[in-house]
Structure 1
Amino acid sequence: MTEPHVSATVQLGTVGVAHADISAAESVTANRRWWDADADDYQAEHGDFLGDVRFVWCPEGLDEADVRLLGPVAGKRVLEVGCGAAHCARWLTTQGAHAVGMDLSAGMLRHARKIADATGVRPPLVQATATALPFADASFDLACSAFGAVPFVADSDRLMAEVSRVLKPGGRWVFSVTHPMRWVFPDDPGEAGLVAQTSYFDRTPYVEVDEAGAATYAEHHRTLGDRLRELVAAGFALTDLIEPEWPEGHVRLWGQWSPLRGHIFPGTAIFVCDKR
């Protein structure tokens, strides 16, 4: 008999949202538990769009095969930070890169191993936190993250410093996150999502909580200026900031991403950075 489906929200006992400060350790614990619980649902909902061996940067569908933000990857050692099911690391492997996928969640890495077995593309996988990377200094040529890790850590300045540490001088770091201006609006793909409700300058995290008030999920807002200062402090130079436009004919909804909102203001920011 098939076990009844239980969502991550139900598994973790989430009852509401509390915009409140949260420690770095609490954020790590909440998000590890969330992604472990939600991994099956996430892959079922988005796996077809992400592809088993594809590097897509964002819900707008910007594909690394087309834009080549990382530059030439053949023969390069590449770290995917917050790899989830490691779609990007597998694509990089097929391009001749020596890719490594790293993620906090055992549940997401379970899907990475399953797809690796199905495709025969098997980059090494490591479970770790993005703020304490278990790699030697200057051990990678490139690092990337497609909506992984960066928004989910309270101390993203430390994450930037860690990525800088494991990159060789001149190495490139490219990551995509929800565009900071989206924090002004509610997470609604419809018309309600067009009405500003929150100050852009309010850095209070978005936290989902259980009945006891313990965090079950957390995301952290940084302004564009905040991100730039983190990067400069970590030794990076920002070489490009990409705000993908919504493609004509693209009708897929992804959470708060939709054609309605995408044609009016950006949903994604992609930072292209080189280590000085």
Structure 2
Amino acid sequence: MTDSAVTRRPVTQAESRRASRGWWDAGADEYQAEHGEFLGVADFVWCPEGVREADAGLLGPVAGARVLEVGCGAAPCARWLRSQGADVVAVDLSAGMLRHAARLNAVSGIHPPLVQADAGDLPFADRAFDVACTAFGAVPFVADSGRVMREVHRVLRPGGRWVFSVTHPMRWIFLDDPGEGGLVAVHSYFDRRPYVEQDEDGRPTYVEQHRTLGDRIRELVAAGFVLQDLVEPEWPDGHEKEWGQWSPLRGRLFPGTAIFVARKPD
């Protein structure tokens, strides 16, 4: 990946999409080398705090369900879902991440279908799925995340569940520092300009979007969902692994992840 300067500024949907595809394609090997062991080959880990779907059951019963994973990365969640009897399809924008997903499908012998697609323009029919989910995929990287909510709503059947995890919005107040430097509030919670890394010509190379908790809830409601739960995982005792700005120091003081559990009405 190229060197970049960091700023906070508005970006277009096209800039955000181009940056995300380029960044994840270029960084797929590095990301998998750093985080692959924690995420597993066929496991569903919701967040750096280590919450697993096998324990949390946020998706409800999945055996026999038609499930869509949005922003699947290397698809460990999709493989776990398939191992539990789900009929699952995994979608990601990045060919680099899907290359790792295909490799790990072969390694594991678990083969959920893999589709390269934009989360804001899902290539599926209306009411095609019973459940949709993503663990830190797609939602934080899309300029028009309200459109993602509408697309997921469209492809879910009535009564379908949509569960997604993102960085807890309050983390945007602080620097991305797992140490004491990350305990001091320096940004406004209400500054919704995205975090942008850009090259020497000013082109975005990495974009991550900020929305408040209220923003996310309004996006869901506007798309037609009913919010059923908002999970803020606590840092578990004995968990000493750092992941970027996630650390035991910060995790024991304030939440690092928000998991939204929503339902499409019958």
**Superposition TM-score tier, normalisation by shorter sequence:** over 0.9
Give the Cα–Cα distance (whole angstroms) in 1 for the partners of residues 188 and 9 of structure 2.
15
**1:4 matched to which residue of 2?**
none
2:58 equivalent to 1:69 = yes
Q: 1:84-109: CA deviations, max 9, x gaps?
A: 00000000000000011000000000
Moved over 4 A (4+): none
CA shift for structure 1 position 136 = 0.2
Unaligned runs of 5+ in 2: none
CA shift for structure 1 position 56 = 0.3
2:257 equivalent to 1:268 = yes
Give the Cα–Cα distance (whole angstroms) in 2 for the partners of residues 100 and 90 of structure 1.
10
**2:103 matched to which residue of 1?**
114
CA shift for structure 1 position 14 = 2.9
Give the Cα–Cα distance (whole angstroms) in 2 for the partners of residues 238 and 42 of structure 1.
32
Contact 1:56 1:63 in 2 (8 A): yes
Unaligned runs of 5+ in 1: 1-7
**1:177 matched to which residue of 2?**
166
Opposite residue 257 of structure 2, the aligned amino acid is T
Give the Cα–Cα distance (whole angstroms) in 2 for the partners of residues 195 and 45 of structure 1.
27
2:90 equivalent to 1:101 = yes
CA shift for structure 1 position 18 = 1.6
Opposite residue 177 of structure 1, the aligned amino acid is V
Give the Cα–Cα distance (whole angstroms) in 2 for the partners of residues 101 and 243 of structure 1.
25
What TM-score comes out, normalization by structure 1 length?
A: 0.95
Q: Which residue, out of 197, 200, 215, partners 1:208?
A: 197
Q: 1:210-236: CA deviations, max 9, x gaps?
A: 000000000000000000000001110
Give the Cα–Cα distance (whole angstroms) in 2 for the partners of residues 46 and 158 of structure 1.
29
Give the Cα–Cα distance (whole angstroms) in 2 for the partners of residues 214 and 19 of structure 1.
13
Counterparts in 2 of 1:1-276, with a 5 A limit?
A: 8=1, 13-276=2-265
Q: 1:37-93: CA deviations, max 9, x gaps?
A: 000000000000000000000000000001110000000000000000000000000
Give the Cα–Cα distance (whole angstroms) in 2 for the partners of residues 268 and 258 of structure 1.
12
Identity of aligned residues (%): 70
Give the Cα–Cα distance (whole angstroms) in 1 for the partners of residues 239 and 145 of structure 2.
32
CA shift for structure 1 position 15 = 2.3
Indicate the SS of the match to 2:171.
Answer: helix
Question: How many pairs were matched up?
Answer: 265
Opposite residue 198 of structure 2, the aligned amino acid is V
Q: 1:116-173: CA deviations, max 9, x gaps?
A: 0001000000000000000000000000000000000000000000000000011000
Give the Cα–Cα distance (whole angstroms) in 2 for the partners of residues 145 and 237 of structure 1.
17
Contact 2:4 2:205 in 1 (8 A): no
Indicate the SS of the match to 2:85.
Answer: coil
Opposite residue 210 of structure 1, the aligned amino acid is D
Give the Cα–Cα distance (whole angstroms) in 1 for the partners of residues 255 and 77 of structure 2.
23
